[in-house]
Structure 1
Amino acid sequence: MFQTIGIISKPRRPDLAEIVPGLLGWLKERGLTYQYDLETAAVLGATDGRKREDLAAGVDLLVVLGGDGTLLSAARAVGGRDIPLLAVNLGGLGFLMTTGPHELYSVLERVLEGDFHLQYRTMLRGQVLREGAAVATYDALNDVVINKAAMARLIEMDAYVDEEFVCSYRADGLILATPTGSTAYSLSAGGPVIVPSVAALLLTPICPHSLTNRPVVFPDTAQVEVEVRSTDDASYLTVDGQVGLALRNTDRIRCHYSPNRVQLIQPQRLRFFEVLRDKMKWGER
């Protein structure tokens, strides 16, 4: 089923010095080929690492060693290719990570035998339109966020859905999130928990200057546009908290569902609320 395994690693993790060589030896013993990203190459002291986008183009399965941030980066690198991701948690919370390092080889054995479940996660496509032209396009597994820059005042924004005016915001920012992202930044900003299988797009204001500005859930068919009305460089767009660019006055951020989706390998049928309780202590008294 899988012949070429890709390995993506979190930078500067001391425990990878033992995990990565062990994993490569395990794969080699089974006659499997492997490739790895630049971060994994640094662990090995090698020079044959590849950029993550290039790596994803030549493998059948990606093993992600790190935390949620590493997985978010890997998901964007896959770029809609039909490649499952096995997420191994070496970080802290690891809400999206399904496997611990102590389970790595037993889970991989089952995966190679075809004994696993696939969970499909939707992605959000965000475009920055400047003077009518798209100057940047991103796919996000979690969220596309409009933030105020350092020392900036409140951002003024107008939101539209399917070209219909929704409302004006004066806030520290806006979060446009997928169901996967509903348990990330949006949750901290007072947004609802959305089960990953629900086809929805979430708009959550960050510290709005109005008690009536509440989070709104749209169907997955919606196209949301936000026009920024602030001085140049007073606001910033971030994608999954990792990439982005400075925004200018009258920039429009257009978001809708991406045609790309992420395939996460589930070694067993994990229950969403069980994960919420276990990793976030959700609903505990």
Structure 2
Amino acid sequence: MKKKVCIIYNTSKKDAIKFYEVSKEFFENCGVGVQSEIEGSAFVVVIGGDGTLLQASKNIANHNKFVIAVNMGSLGFLTDIRRIEALQVYEDVLMGNYKLEERHMLEVEVRGETHLGLNEVVMAKGGILQKLIRIRVSGEHYINTYRADGLIVATPTGSTGYSLSVGGPIIRPNLDVLLITPIAPHNLSTRPIIIDGKEEITLKLEKKEGSAYVTIDGDDLVKVTKDDLIKIKYSDKKLKLVLPKSRNYYSVLREKLKWGDKIC
């Protein structure tokens, strides 16, 4: 049976559209069929930025496929294969010469529905004029009640996303931990905390609060009240990324965050 590859690309970026055509031609010349559906494919190629991969990650993980993530965006912590090396990576994958890195996915239960997330779950107040909210957080034991604009529960993959922008630490992706980062906490001594990834975290609004909003990877917006419990744990499903041979995680951090560069 003819091997097939699913290619997902950012249709709003000219560079991504052009490289999709280049990729399509490459695979077809290698006798590999190209399709837009993940089901029935041997693996997936994502061409775009981290946002493109985030949108596709749940579907890819649900189908248990690995992904070659080609960067056409700006930062590209997830899509860290450069366009100039992508065709060589394609060839290596077809020859079976590649390594995979598994990234944890979150399983989030809210209002009777289960959602998957790769980066983070955010519980936050509804707008800039709303008062601070109080969020009670429990794991194996009661952790804390945060009075803040909101709270982020992130995977190590998500530690370089929203959590980083509000003062959270960077965590190597292969570590089995969860990161809890408050957003603009009322108490300056309230700091991010890293906990065991085997724990299930429960978020709940304190009784005084009216409502808040929960988002998963910037999507799946759900309004919650004091009567709702948000349960967060690691899913059995994982996102499997093809690793670039030329770089490692620390070299990616140095490149993307401009460590050591003279920036002023």
TM-score, scaled to structure 1? 0.85
Cα distance change on mapping 1:269 and 1:243 into 2, 3 Å: farther
**Deviation, structure 1 residue 209:** 0.5
Does residue 154 of structure 1 match 2:136? no
3-state SS of paired residue (1:251): coil
Kept in 2: contact 1:8–1:62 (CA 8 A):
yes
Identity %: 36
Matches within 5 A, 1:72-87: 72-87=54-69
Pair 1:279 & 2:256 matched? yes
Kindly provide the amino acid, as one letter, of the partner of residue 277 in structure 1: R
Q: Determine the C-alpha separation between the residues in 1 that align with 2:108 and 2:150.
A: 15
CA RMSD of superposed structures (Å): 1.9
What is the letter of the counterpart of residue 19 of structure 2? I
Distance 2:11 2:221 in 1: 20
Q: What residue number does 1:24 align with?
A: 24
Residues 64, 237 of structure 2: 8 Å contact kept: no
How far, CA to CA, are the matches of 2:226 and 2:2 in structure 1? 48
What's the TM-score, normalizing by structure 2? 0.92
- Residues 1:12 and 1:222: Cα distance change in structure 2 (over 3 Å): same
17 and 198 in structure 1: CA distance in 2 versus 1, 3 angstrom threshold: closer
Contact 2:24 2:34 in 1 (8 A): yes
Structure 1 residue aligned with 2:82, among 95, 100, 110? 100
Counterpart Cα distance in 2 of 1:183 and 1:101:
22
Question: Where does structure 1 lack aligned partners over 5 or more consecutive residues?
Answer: 37-54
Structure 2 gaps of 5+ residues are none
Provide the rounded CA distance (Å) in 2 between the counterparts of 1:227 and 1:11.
38
Aligned residue-pair number: 259
1:120 aligns with 2:106: no
The 2-side partners of 1:284 and 1:22 are apart by 33
- The equivalent of 2:152 in structure 1 is 175
Partner Cα distance (2:196, 2:11) in 1: 37
1:176 Cα shift?
0.3
Deviations 1:146-170 (A, max 9, x none): 12212322111111112x2211111
Distance across 2 between alignment mates of 1:279 and 1:2: 38
The residue identity in structure 1 corresponding to 2:84 is H
Whether 2:169 is the aligned partner of 1:187: answer no
